[in-house]
């Protein structure tokens, strides 16, 4: 059992990346504590698939079979225009596939393994202040509890129940879009492309989902059909002319105030409910209209909608991954479009990389300067994902339709680096 008041590494954020990083550290006998402002692990979110390569990370921890037990295996990504199938990319390999399963399943597996390793997630805890020092970080943690208030009309609200200080050797920021660790690091988080809005619908269907992810491409849109376990599916429709006026107004106010690198909040449901179901864009009639206009080849039934939401995706990349005792992984360092599920999956690789590097320092006596290579490995990988360098380009063998949609196709392939190149090569992209 680790001493939670004297952790060598503090992980801030208990999403998949934070949990995976903490478990990887604990398995390497590094004293770790993990905290999150949430009440419990999320029960619904957008992220829903593990890349074939990411399954190898779970295999290294002995968890691959548990992941696959609850997953829907996908072997292909198929690309369509309005009328027909135009191209496909194979995503399976011996012993691997694209594993579709909900984020809460991933989190529950990781949290239970952490408990076996003697590490419990500190829910309702916030890293209220983070100050880097020469060889450690000073962190003030606040614990929140519900308190009943009011004399005539009673109500409850979250209040700070207690506050305490920690001095970990390192802090890993896996705390998402508005990362406090990133802000303590003074790493900028510039926008690289306009935000995208998507209308997301989940429902049961009689369609033959055929172990494929289907992507419908048009000039201005990329819509995705995800097969889900139990005969369910998820359609995500890009809304090129949609904007949430409240979010856009707030972002404009932040820009004018000098906070242009401040991302909008994209909340993860931590309760089992849908949001915004009354919005016209989420009406079932609109779903049917979108299918008729953008994917008439989908002929499956639409049973009662189980989840629907409008989600805003931003495209951002931190200018640096860390320095001294503060380091980033996952959404705290990058935001991307939804189709390739890149942010979570590459975040898992970052977490594994960071855990190995920190263990080498804390257990192997390595020079802390080796952390600089972590920054140098992941910034180029993300610059490629965002199409800023080494972007996939159509070669002479590429079909004309594939060539015309090359950037969108590249963004939908569930891989990065050499694996991305190998997946794209049969399409004529290099």
Q: Buried (b) or exposed (e) across 311-325, using 16+ Cβ within 10 A? A: bbbbbbbbebbbebb
The per-residue DSSP string of 157-184 comes to EEEEEEEEEE--SEEEE---TT-HHHHH
Domain-embedded: residue 183: yes
Closest CA relative to residue 314, chosen from 268, 267, 263, 255: 263
SS3 call for 100: strand
- How far apart (Å, rounded) are the C-alpha atoms in residues 134 and 199? 47
- Amino acid 166: pLDDT: 97
- How far apart (Å, rounded) are the C-alpha atoms in residues 423 and 416? 9
Contact 223, 216 (CB under 8 A): yes
- Amino acid 320: pLDDT: 96
Domain-embedded: residue 162: yes
- How far apart (Å, rounded) are the C-alpha atoms in residues 400 and 429? 12
Residues of the chain scoring pLDDT < 50: 259-260, 262, 264-275
- Amino acid 420: pLDDT: 94
Q: What pTM value is reported for the model?
A: 0.91
Domain-embedded: residue 27: yes
Domain-embedded: residue 209: no
The pLDDT tens digits of the residues spanning 357-402 come to 999 999 999 999 999 999 999 999 999 999 999 999 999 999 999 9
Residue range(s) defining the domain that contains residue 335 = 1-48+102-189+318-389
- Amino acid 392: pLDDT: 92
Q: Buried (b) or exposed (e) across 342-351, using 16+ Cβ within 10 A? A: bbbbbbbbbb
Q: Which residues pair with 204 in a beta bridge?
A: 232
Domain-embedded: residue 144: yes
- Amino acid 273: pLDDT: 30
Q: Which CATH number belongs to the domain containing residue 43 in this structure? A: 3.50.50.60
Contact 107, 42 (CB under 8 A): yes
- Amino acid 404: pLDDT: 96
- Amino acid 253: pLDDT: 57
Domain-embedded: residue 354: yes
Domain-embedded: residue 14: yes
- How far apart (Å, rounded) are the C-alpha atoms in residues 375 and 249? 34
> What is the domain count for the chain?
1
How distant, in Å, are the alpha carbons of 89, 283, 284, 292 from that of 201?
24, 10, 9, 15
Domain-embedded: residue 198: no
The pLDDT tens digits of the residues spanning 5-37 come to 899 999 999 999 999 999 999 999 999 999 999
């Amino acid at each position: 059992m680790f001493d939670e008041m004297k952790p060598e590494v503090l992980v801030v954020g208990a999403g998949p990346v934070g949990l995976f990083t903490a478990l990887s550290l604990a398995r390497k006998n590094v004293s770790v504590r993990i905290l999150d402002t949430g009440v419990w692990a999320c029960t619904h979110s957008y992220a829903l698939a593990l890349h074939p390569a990411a399954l190898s990370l779970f295999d290294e921890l002995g968890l691959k079979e548990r992941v696959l037990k609850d997953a829907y295996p996908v072997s292909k990504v198929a690309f369509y225009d309005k009328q027909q199938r135009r191209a496909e990319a194979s995503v399976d390999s011996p012993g691997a596939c694209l594993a579709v399963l909900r984020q809460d399943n991933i989190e529950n597996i990781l949290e239970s393994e952490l408990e076996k390793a003697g590490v419990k997630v500190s829910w309702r805890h916030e890293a209220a202040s983070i100050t880097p020092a020469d060889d450690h970080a000073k962190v003030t943690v606040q614990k929140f509890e519900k308190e009943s208030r009011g004399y005539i009309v009673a109500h409850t609200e979250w209040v700070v129940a207690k506050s305490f200080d920690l001095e970990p050797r390192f802090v890993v920021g896996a705390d998402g879009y508005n990362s406090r660790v990133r802000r303590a690091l003074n790493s900028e988080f510039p926008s690289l492309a306009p935000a995208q809005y998507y209308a997301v619908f989940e429902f049961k269907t009689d369609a033959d989902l055929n172990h494929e992810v289907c992507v419908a491409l048009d000039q201005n849109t990329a819509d995705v059909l995800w097969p889900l376990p139990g005969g369910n599916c998820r359609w995500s429709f890009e809304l090129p002319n949609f904007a949430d006026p409240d979010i856009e107004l707030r972002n404009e106010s932040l820009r004018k105030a000098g906070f242009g690198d401040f991302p909008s909040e994209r909340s993860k449901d931590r309760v089992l409910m849908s949001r915004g179901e009354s919005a016209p864009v989420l009406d079932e009639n609109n779903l049917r209209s979108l299918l008729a206009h953008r994917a008439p080849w989908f002929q499956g039934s639409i049973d009662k909608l189980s989840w629907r939401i409008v989600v805003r995706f931003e495209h951002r990349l931190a200018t640096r991954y860390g320095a001294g005792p503060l380091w980033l992984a996952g959404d705290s360092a990058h935001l991307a479009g939804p189709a390739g599920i890149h942010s979570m999956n590459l975040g898992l690789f970052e977490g594994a990389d960071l855990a190995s590097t920190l263990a080498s320092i804390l257990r192997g006596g390595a020079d802390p300067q080796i952390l600089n290579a972590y920054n140098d490995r992941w910034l180029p990988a993300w610059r490629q994902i965002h199409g800023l360098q080494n972007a996939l380009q159509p070669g002479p063998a590429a079909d004309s339709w594939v060539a015309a949609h090359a950037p969108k196709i590249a963004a939908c392939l569930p891989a990065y680096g050499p694996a991305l190149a190998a997946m794209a090569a049969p399409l004529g992209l290099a």
